[in-house]
Amino acid sequence: MIEDITKVTPYSMDIENEELEKLKGVFPQCFSEGSLDIDKLLSLCGKYIDKDFEKYKFEWSGKSECYRIAGKRSTGTLRPCPEESVDFENTKNMYIEGDNLEVLKLLQSSYYNKVKMIYIDPPYNTGNDFVYEDDFKDPMERYKEITSQTTKSNPETMGRFHTNWLNMMYPRLRLAANLLRDDGVIFISIDDNEVTNLRRLCDEVFGEENFVSQMIWQRAFAPKNDSKYTSNDHDYVIAYAKNLNNFVIGRLPRTEEANARYKNYDNDPRGLWISDNLTVKTYSEKYDYPITTPSGKVITPSHGSCWRVSKERFAELVADNRIWFGETGENVPRLKRFLSEVQDGMVASSLMLHKDVGHSQEGRQELKKLFDDKGYFDGPKPLRLLHRLLTLANVQNNDLILDFFSGSATTAHAVMQLNAEDGGNRQFIMVQLPELCDEKSEAYKAGYKNICEIGKERIRRAGSKIGRGDTGFKVFKLDTSNLAKWDSSVPTSAEGLFQQRLSEIESSIKFDRTDLDLVYEVMLKLGIPLDYKVIPIEINDKKAYSIGEDCLVLVCLDYGKDGITPDDVKAMCEYVPAQIVSTEKAFKDDSTLKNVYYILKNNNIEIKLL
């Protein structure tokens, strides 16, 4: 085969290599024959290295393994399921069924730095929650195994209570961080059990300098009188930005109650205003000076405080009638803030009361209304809470929202609802492990075998009720790669299976996979978003697929008895794709492949082979 022709492999993006390439771009002198010279790097960064080996570090058993698990390439793929989808051909929304660790790895190429907001509601680690134990040796086999049995809880008696939870969360957060845009933000719901560990984990993954807020959500509307100590009525929502310097938090719509605080005591022509404290406790000598009020009284800041503006700026504010000394003119000066200048909204409080964002019971009632008054899911979040977070994330038209612990799919419901309200076109990606429902549960008896079936049905019903905007979604399911690779575990004595695997290796494609399976795996491997249109076309009686409105990539797997010929390729060139993808077996011989390669090269088109 010609050396310049690239093979599409069954592996996901090599994250560790990508990071190494970034380092190589900054410190090329620290690399020799492709390997990093760590001593040279340390010598270059000498003055920036913290030599305090006794400083605080967040460590737990298995942390080093987490690094390896996050960096291990996936051999999975996402197989499309049009029959379970809604408006598969046109929607930009996605529901992915599978272990979120493997799914996050598969999304790296296509969605790196493209997600505006991530919201997750992971297991709280209460002792009854399922905590997935990742298998470093063969994650796809482990996934197949775990989805065929009832999931296990993580009781405190296991002895690795917090460790198991940390080992589950760390690699997923690390992969999720790659997907966030530079102005993106992640929100994570959690309770008292792991809130401290989650903060430490996020400090390590996102950087403590990118911490936004630890919000308190009042999830219960009434205290529990049977509580042993205090009634635990709240959960937390932790927020971290990808880069706090680039993140602009959204403001809440102004309310009549908030506006009622604004008055106009001095009949200022600029309208209603409220006065604000003019002192701060971050002392600066430059801002510590006496002020003489209109009544002649001299006022200085209290001990340890100073004014928030310089003496010169204060004089400008007085001249512009923006300082209020009280009706008698002898009070401590305060800064006037006009309602007309804050109409862009209100700063949100870190305390989210249930009267403003809903409570747990409200979330349950919303779900029951969609499912004929049946409660098929425990603890769904209320839509108003997600609306608040979408507002704070400052999501705009066409922004992408990801939830990789999607549960009952409240996030998808909230995104569709928000789009219907303001005419937006925000898109969502939901990811959920198909945890089996208990056979004694109402959900199982109603025909819902796993959580994903409940989530997908919720989106269908909510979308039908909303009725405006993009309420469809493409369903994908995690599976092993469509591309065959040699499996040494297949015993040679299993003659039939052995011959099948041998044939698969020769054709490079597994027997039970469809063209559409292959097309979407190509998209993942080439870094093309899965919402791009896939258009079936025919070229010289051969079936092919055009990816993207302008035929970004053309995939042809139908080669017939004569194979793909130079004439076929010339016809493909008329679509002006950037790349053409096929299989090596599609070409009659090396001579034909070489001829095709030069035809494409002359047309500035790259060829890739499966």
Q: What is the pLDDT of residue 501?
A: 47
> pLDDT category, 260, cuts 50, 70, 90?
very high
Position 51 in a domain: no
| pLDDT greater than 90 at residue 491 | no
Last residue of a domain, one of 293, 308, 341: 341
Say if residue 414 is in the same domain as residue 363: yes
pLDDT attached to residue 20: 79
Predicted confidence (pLDDT) at residue 129 exceeds the cutoff of 80: no
User: Cβ(182)–Cβ(242) under 8 Å?
Assistant: yes
Check whether residue 473 and residue 501 sit in a common domain: no
Answer for the pair 387, 379: CB distance below 8 angstroms, yes or no: no
> Quick one: pLDDT at residue 5?
86
State whether 428 and 448 are in the same domain. yes
Whether 471 is in a domain gets the answer yes
With 70 as the cut, is the pLDDT of residue 569 above it?
yes
Residues 416 and 560 in one domain: no
pLDDT tens digit string along 169-209?
999 999 999 999 999 999 999 999 899 999 999 999 999 99
Report residue 364: phi and psi, to 5°: -65, -40
Interacting residues of 503 by C-beta distance below 8 A, sequence separation 6+: 511
Q: What is the DSSP letter of 515?
A: H
Residues 83 and 131 in one domain: yes
What would the pLDDT profile of 406-417 be if each residue is shown by its tens digit?
A: 999 999 999 999
Supply the pLDDT for residue 137: 56
Question: What is the pLDDT averaged over residues 67-91?
Answer: 95
25 falls within a domain: no
**Strand runs (DSSP E) across 265-376, as ranges?**
273-277, 279-280, 291-292, 298-299, 306-307, 323-324, 334-338, 351-352
* Across 6-10, average pLDDT: 86
| Rounded Cα gap, residues 327 and 576, in angstroms | 75
Asked if 526 and 598 sit in the same domain, the reply is: yes
Cα 440 to chain centroid, rounded: 33
Instruction: Please name which of 507, 458, 451 lies closest in space to residue 483, comparing C-alpha atoms.
Output: 507
Provide the CATH number for the domain around residue 82.
Answer: 3.40.50.150
- Tell me whether residue 24 is in a domain: no
Both 188 and 219 in a single domain? yes
**Cβ atoms of residues 263 and 272 within 8 Å:** yes
**363 shares its domain with 242:** yes
Share of the chain above pLDDT 70, in %: 89
Residues 222 and 109 in one domain: yes
Are 117 and 187 contacting, i.e. CB atoms less than 8 angstroms apart?
yes
User: Is residue 436 situated within a structural domain?
Assistant: yes
62 within a domain of the structure (yes/no): no
The tally of CA atoms less than 13 A away on the side-chain side of residue 541 is: 5
Phi then psi for residue 2, to 5 deg, are -65, 135
| Residue 579 confidence class, pLDDT cut points 50, 70, 90 | very high
Place of tokens 């194979």: 563
Q: What is the mean pLDDT of the chain?
A: 89
Contact 572, 539 (CB under 8 A): yes
Same-domain check for residues 115 and 227: yes
Length of the chain: 610
Looking at residue 505, what is its pLDDT? 46
Please choose, from the candidates 488, 595, 583, 601, the residue with its C-alpha nearest in 3D space to the C-alpha of residue 544: 583
Name 74's Cβ contacts closer than 8 Å, sequence gap at least 6. Answer: 11, 12, 102, 105, 106, 139, 140
Q: In what order do the strands lie in the sheet with 606-609?
A: 6-7, 606-609, 579-582, 553-556, 542-547, 534-539
Q: Are strands 474-480 and 76-80 parallel, antiparallel or unpaired?
A: antiparallel
pLDDT in tens, 510-567: 888 999 999 999 999 999 999 999 999 999 999 999 999 889 999 999 888 889 999 9
Per-residue pLDDT band at 482 (split at 50, 70, 90): very high
Instruction: Say if residues 204 and 58 touch (Cβ distance below 8 Å).
Output: yes
Q: How far apart are CA 76 and CA 238, in angstroms?
A: 31
As a whole-number percent, the residues of the chain with pLDDT over 90 amount to: 69
Say what the pTM is.
Answer: 0.85
Q: Is 338 helix (H, G, I), strand (E, B) or coil?
A: strand
Query: Which of 603, 568, 607, 604 is CA-nearest to residue 584?
Result: 607
Decide if 596 contacts 569 (C-beta within 8 A). Answer: yes
- Which of 341, 375, 405 is the endpoint of a domain? 341
Which of these three, 341, 370, 392, is where a domain ends? 341
Residue 6, both tokens: 């690239």
Number of neighbours of residue 129 by Cβ within 10 angstroms: 16
229 lies in the same domain as 175: yes
Domain count, the chain: 3
Domain carrying residue 511: 495-609
> What are 346-405's pLDDT values in tens digits?
999 999 999 999 999 999 999 999 999 988 888 899 999 999 999 999 999 999 999 999
Q: Which of 391, 420, 419, 390 is nearest to 403 (CA)?
A: 390
39: in domain:
no
Four-residue CA torsion sign, 20, 169, 160, 450: negative
Neighbours of 135 (CB within 10 A): 14
Q: So what's the pLDDT on residue 153?
A: 52
**73 and 209: one domain?**
yes
